[in-house]
């Protein structure tokens, strides 16, 4: 597909500024999208709207992942637009102009002129976006945009009856990470691993979940990173709640704490879970459950191989967990019966989520494969990054299933970030301890 790139932008590689990739990586992504789109169309990718937390206080802004992927624009307010009206593709970035009065309060903006350092052919005042997009739509037959991201863009295209969603095209592209994307994800995994270790070292009986959270997220900040999702810090029974959010309880002597946390580097996420005894010593019942989950996780990682079906890792973890539950007398049937015809057998009473998900610009990244998806999951390919995270949960508060007294209050999940390669899977978060003896040597030793 012909493009109208300005030669000096591609040849110079640009100044990079805050861009995490070279210009040609972005333009290559754009070209791949354009090749999938029809003639006479316009593509519109807005960044996220700003959201208020309370009154005039906003939530910290995070750019839309599709915007980051196609042109790297991180500031709030911005619309990436491309069209092939002339038979050649032309790209635009609409952004707010420089404004001294606003910048005194909120900081210096890149502005329209500065936006030309981004991977686009043209930049324009965001105030012109409605008129320009309306003109482009009038001259084309097809409109592609992602609805629900920007109220302004949704309003502009509201009366257009020929709007399609380009996310299916983009999501397939985002499944496979480039070498540079993988480097950013390795960095995020390293920082995430260090954060977990910091929390382990500073633990003690009676510590608050919020204090553990502060060690984890404080390390993120110290590395100029931020969380990729609100940290889950569940002590004791709270660790049996999959997406526990409060982080307001203390963790008593003898209890486990489940820490599910990750960070972002240039928008690319890590997602790591470790479970450990707050006093530094596993009890025998805790060890029995932990060893099953760890064995299952290792089996799931080993199944992350190019050419394998998406369900291969869930099958691998499920077989280990089902057998372990049978060995402990928690489930009384065969492994096949425990797993069920569609992973719906009685083992699901204690392992009720999927084994993993894609990881990338979103912590639950696009591309399918998650439990509950209507479509069959993808075949694994080199360059995919996925999580492997089996768990077992015995909440003492549950009345829907039998919870053995010996394991009551135990919740254990172990999660790593895994790169699929041509050969063996590579665990990006491998520096984060998970063997029992490693954990017991680290917890509570301080900095």
Task: Give the model's pLDDT for residue 11.
Answer: 33
Instruction: Compute the distance between CA of residue 141 and CA of residue 137 in angstroms, rounded to an integer.
Output: 7
Q: What is the pLDDT of residues 40-93, one digit of tens each?
A: 999 999 999 999 999 999 999 999 999 999 999 999 999 999 999 999 999 999
- 401 and 424 housed in the same domain: yes
Identified catalytic residue from 56, 400, 405, 447: 56
Domain extent at residue 162:
7-174
Q: Answer yes or no: 243 catalytic.
A: yes
Instruction: Compute the distance between CA of residue 74 and CA of residue 170 in angstroms, rounded to an integer.
Output: 18
Identified catalytic residue from 32, 364, 370, 398: 364
Q: What is the CATH number of the domain that holds 325?
A: 3.90.230.10
Identified catalytic residue from 29, 174, 219, 413: 413
Q: How far is CA 160 from the centre of its chain?
A: 33
Minimum mean pLDDT among 27-36, 155-164, 243-252, 282-291: which range? Answer: 155-164
Tell me the two tokens of residue 221.
């900040």
* Domains contained in the chain, number: 2
Domain boundary (119, 152, 174) is at 174
Considering the domain boundaries, does residue 420 fall inside one?
Answer: yes
- 76 and 170 housed in the same domain: yes
Identified catalytic residue from 181, 217, 271, 297: 271
Q: Answer yes or no: 196 catalytic.
A: no
Residue 374 pLDDT grade (very low, low, confident, very high; cuts 50, 70, 90): confident
- 103 and 232 housed in the same domain: no
Considering the domain boundaries, does residue 312 fall inside one?
Answer: yes
pTM of the model: 0.95
Residue 8 has pLDDT above 80, yes or no: no
Instruction: Compute the distance between CA of residue 417 and CA of residue 357 in angstroms, rounded to an integer.
Output: 10
Residue 373 has pLDDT above 80, yes or no: no
Please report how many Cα atoms fall inside a 13 Å half-sphere around the Cα of residue 203, on the Cβ side: 36
Point out which residues pair with 265 in neighbouring strands.
268
Considering the domain boundaries, does residue 447 fall inside one?
Answer: no
Say if CB 228 and CB 148 are below 8 A apart.
no
Residue 3 pLDDT grade (very low, low, confident, very high; cuts 50, 70, 90): low
Considering the domain boundaries, does residue 138 fall inside one?
Answer: yes
- 275 and 384 housed in the same domain: yes
- 159 and 199 housed in the same domain: no
Q: Answer yes or no: 165 catalytic.
A: no
Identified catalytic residue from 77, 260, 264, 417: 260
Instruction: Compute the distance between CA of residue 269 and CA of residue 127 in angstroms, rounded to an integer.
Output: 33
Q: Answer yes or no: 305 catalytic.
A: no
Identified catalytic residue from 50, 151, 180, 243: 243
DSSP 259-298: EEE-EEETTEE--EEEEEETTS---HHHHHHHHHHHHHHH
Residue 16 has pLDDT above 90, yes or no: no
Considering the domain boundaries, does residue 1 fall inside one?
Answer: no
Say if CB 446 and CB 201 are below 8 A apart.
yes
32 C-beta neighbours (distance < 10 Å), count? 14
The whole-number average pLDDT for the span 235-254 is 98
Identified catalytic residue from 29, 190, 219, 353: 353
Q: What is the CATH number of the domain that holds 21?
A: 3.40.350.10
Q: What is the pLDDT of residues 165-203, one digit of tens each?
A: 999 999 999 999 999 999 999 999 999 999 999 999 999
Residue 118 has pLDDT above 90, yes or no: yes
Q: Answer yes or no: 364 catalytic.
A: yes
- 374 and 392 housed in the same domain: yes
Q: What is the pLDDT of residues 204-232, one digit of tens each?
A: 999 999 999 999 999 999 999 999 999 99
- 39 and 156 housed in the same domain: yes
Say if CB 236 and CB 256 are below 8 A apart.
yes
Round the average pLDDT of the chain to a whole number and report it. 95
185 C-beta neighbours (distance < 10 Å), count? 25
Say if CB 284 and CB 429 are below 8 A apart.
no
Identified catalytic residue from 389, 407, 416, 417: 389
- 183 and 170 housed in the same domain: no
Q: Answer yes or no: 357 catalytic.
A: yes
Q: What is the pLDDT of residues 400-428, one digit of tens each?
A: 999 999 999 999 999 999 999 999 999 99
Tell me the two tokens of residue 220.
């993120």
Q: What percent of the chain has pLDDT over 70?
A: 96
Tell me the two tokens of residue 435.
């063997």
Identified catalytic residue from 66, 347, 357, 417: 357
Domain boundary (149, 174, 199) is at 174
Strand order in the sheet with 122-125: 122-125, 90-95, 79-83, 41-46, 142-145, 163-164
The whole-number average pLDDT for the span 344-372 is 94
Q: Answer yes or no: 142 catalytic.
A: no
297 C-beta neighbours (distance < 10 Å), count? 28
Q: Answer yes or no: 413 catalytic.
A: yes
Instruction: Compute the distance between CA of residue 230 and CA of residue 201 in angstroms, rounded to an integer.
Output: 21
Measuring CA to CA, which residue among 149, 163, 161, 81 is closest to residue 115?
81
CB-count exposure of residue 426 (10 Å: 0-12, 13-18, 19+): middle
Considering the domain boundaries, does residue 109 fall inside one?
Answer: yes
- 67 and 14 housed in the same domain: yes
- 168 and 236 housed in the same domain: no
- 169 and 309 housed in the same domain: no
Task: Give the model's pLDDT for residue 189.
Answer: 98
Considering the domain boundaries, does residue 311 fall inside one?
Answer: yes
Residue 15 has pLDDT above 60, yes or no: no
**Cα 9–Cα 13–Cα 15 angle in degrees, nearest 5:** 90
- 197 and 332 housed in the same domain: yes
Q: What is the pLDDT of residues 298-352, one digit of tens each?
A: 999 999 999 999 999 999 999 999 999 999 999 999 999 999 999 999 999 999 9
Domain boundary (174, 202, 219) is at 174
Considering the domain boundaries, does residue 55 fall inside one?
Answer: yes
Q: Answer yes or no: 260 catalytic.
A: yes
Measuring CA to CA, which residue among 152, 176, 225, 155 is closest to residue 69?
176
Task: Give the model's pLDDT for residue 160.
Answer: 84
């Amino acid at each position: 597909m012909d493009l109208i790139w300005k030669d000096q932008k591609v040849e110079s590689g640009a100044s990079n500024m805050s861009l995490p990739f070279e210009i040609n990586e972005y333009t290559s992504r754009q070209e791949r999208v354009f090749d999938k789109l029809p003639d006479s169309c316009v593509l519109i990718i807005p960044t996220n709207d700003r959201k208020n937390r309370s009154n005039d206080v906003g939530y910290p802004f995070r750019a839309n992942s599709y915007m980051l992927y196609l042109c790297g624009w991180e500031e709030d307010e911005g619309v990436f637009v491309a069209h092939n009206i002339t038979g050649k593709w032309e790209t635009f970035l609409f952004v707010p102009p420089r404004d001294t009065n606003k910048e005194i309060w909120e900081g210096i903006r890149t502005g329209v002129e500065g936006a030309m350092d981004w991977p686009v052919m043209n930049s324009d005042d965001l105030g012109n976006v409605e008129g320009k997009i309306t003109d482009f739509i009038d001259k084309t037959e097809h409109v592609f945009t992602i609805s629900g991201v920007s109220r302004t863009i949704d309003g502009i295209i509201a009366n257009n009856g020929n709007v399609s969603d380009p996310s299916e095209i983009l999501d397939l592209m985002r499944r496979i990470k480039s070498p540079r994307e993988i480097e950013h994800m390795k960095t995020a995994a390293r920082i995430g691993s260090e954060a977990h270790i910091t929390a382990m070292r500073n633990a003690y009986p009676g510590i608050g979940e919020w204090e553990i959270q502060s060690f984890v997220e404080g390390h993120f900040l110290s590395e100029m990173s931020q969380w990729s999702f609100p940290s889950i810090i569940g002590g004791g029974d709270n660790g049996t709640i999959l997406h526990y959010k409060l982080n307001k309880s203390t963790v008593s002597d003898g209890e486990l704490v489940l820490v599910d946390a990750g960070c972002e580097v240039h928008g690319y996420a890590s997602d790591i879970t470790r479970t450990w005894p707050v006093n530094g010593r596993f009890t025998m019942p805790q060890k029995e459950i932990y060893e099953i989950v760890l064995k299952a996780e290792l089996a799931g990682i080993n199944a992350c191989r190019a050419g394998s079906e998406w369900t291969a890792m869930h099958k691998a973890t499920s077989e280990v967990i089902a057998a372990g539950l049978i060995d402990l007398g928690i489930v009384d049937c065969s492994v096949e019966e425990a797993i069920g015809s569609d992973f719906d057998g009685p083992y699901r009473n204690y392992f009720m989520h999927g084994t993993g998900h894609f990881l990338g610009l979103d912590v639950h990244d696009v591309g399918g494969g998650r439990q509950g998806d209507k479509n069959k999951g993808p075949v694994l390919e080199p360059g995919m990054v996925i999580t492997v995270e089996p768990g077992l949960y015995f909440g003492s508060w549950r009345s829907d299933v039998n919870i053995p007294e010996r394991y009551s209050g135990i919740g254990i999940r172990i999660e790593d970030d895994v790169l699929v390669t041509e050969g063996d899977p590579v665990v990006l978060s491998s520096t984060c301890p998970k063997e029992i003896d490693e954990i017991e040597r680290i917890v509570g030793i301080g900095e």
